[in-house]
Amino acid sequence: MLKTENENELVVEMILHAKRYSLTLNKKKCVGCGICMQICPREAIEVTPTPKAEGEEAKTPTVTINKEKCTYCGICEAICPFGALTTRINGEHVVPVVESDSFPQLVREITVDETKCGLECTEIEEACPLDLIKVSMSAKKGQVKIEVDKEACPGCRLCETKFPESTIHVKKVIEGIVRIDNEKCPEGCHDCLDVCPIPGVLYLTEDAKVQVNETNCVYCGTCKIVCPEEGALELTRTRIHHTTIHSGTWNKALEKLASTRAVIKELQTKSGKKLSQVVEKRCFTEVEDYV
């Protein structure tokens, strides 16, 4: 078992006679949100506030991975909204829990209409706070090419809201609610603003109270990780957009990440779809018999 770390990444590995497993954390993409820690079935990942000196701004939370506990199942990669984790087997990118159909993948709905874009589309690139959009001139004269790193996009929609020409449309990966109790906020504390990966989501009012702009919030939870006062900031995830899955493993995972209400809502949706399919199949069969 090996563990190596540098400024850009953290890698844990398990080397066997026939196979070599690895899990890589891309520190440039990681925002320290803690979703991987919440979801890990072996509690192999820990996310904690990074120590800071008095008067300093809060820093991105610190992520550590226990090489003794990690089983390289790939759940953390499948659920990471920022695409910061990668599992490999013998050097090949593989997500075991997705391959075995026991865990879903996040659905990232991003559509781009390059025909509506001119040279001014560079504003879209500049609008992305995670540097996931690249705008360049295509081989055809006068046409613009837009490339989006979709696997790392949590769907903050800043590119869409700052460029309302229907050039790009983004749907949030995670939906939820953030509530801030300013009465409990420590005086002068702005830690949540310092670490929020999406500019403008958390902001100060004229009377120095923290407020949230949920239009662009991705409900990652980094703010909650660093908040020093219990109950001052509450985050509830109400829905996670994912591929279809029929597994009890996901239901347990969803309850950890979201809420019991979210699990119930998803089960009701699945039941409704299943009932609809049964009725449709029965009606179609009866029509065929009649004909």
**CATH class of the domain defined by 110-170:** alpha beta
Look at residue 247 in the predicted model and tell me its pLDDT: 75
Look at residue 278 in the predicted model and tell me its pLDDT: 40
Look at residue 258 in the predicted model and tell me its pLDDT: 85
Look at residue 276 in the predicted model and tell me its pLDDT: 44
Q: For 133-151, how does the pLDDT look when each residue is reduced to its tens digit (9 = 90+)?
A: 998 876 666 677 889 999 9
Q: For 254-263, how does the pLDDT look when each residue is reduced to its tens digit (9 = 90+)?
A: 888 987 676 6
Instruction: Indicate the range of 43-57, 246-260, 268-282 predicted with least confidence.
Output: 268-282
The pLDDT confidence band at residue 168, using thresholds 50, 70 and 90, is confident
Q: Name the pTM for this structure.
A: 0.86
Asked whether 214 and 251 are in contact (CB, 8 A), the reply is no
**Average pLDDT of every residue of the chain:** 87
Res 273 pLDDT > 90: no
- d(C-alpha 139, C-alpha 38), whole Å: 45
Please give, one letter per residue, the 3-state secondary structure of the chain: CEEEECCCEEEEEEECCCCEEEEEEECCCCCCCCHHHHHCCCCCEEEECCCCCCCCCCCCCEEEECCCCCCCCCHHHHHCCCCCEEEEECCEECCHHHHCCCCCCECCCEEECHHHCCHHHHHHHHHCCCCCEEEEECCCCCCEEEEECHHHCCCCCHHHHCCCCCCEEECCCEEEEEEECCCCCCCCCCHHHHHCCCCCCEEECCCCCEEECCCCCCCCCHHHHHCCCCCCEEEEEEEECECCCCCHHHHHHHHHHCCHHHHHHHHHHHHHHHHHHHHHHHHHHHHHHHC
Higher pLDDT, 124 or 62: 62
The pLDDT confidence band at residue 113, using thresholds 50, 70 and 90, is confident
Domain ranges of the chain: 2-99, 110-170, 174-265
Asked whether 162 and 206 are in contact (CB, 8 A), the reply is no
Q: For 37-92, how does the pLDDT look when each residue is reduced to its tens digit (9 = 90+)?
A: 999 999 999 999 999 988 899 999 999 999 999 999 999 999 999 999 999 999 99
Fold (topology level) of 174-265: Alpha-Beta Plaits (3.30.70)
**Yes or no: domain 2-99 corresponds to CATH 3.30.70:** yes
Res 279 pLDDT > 70: no
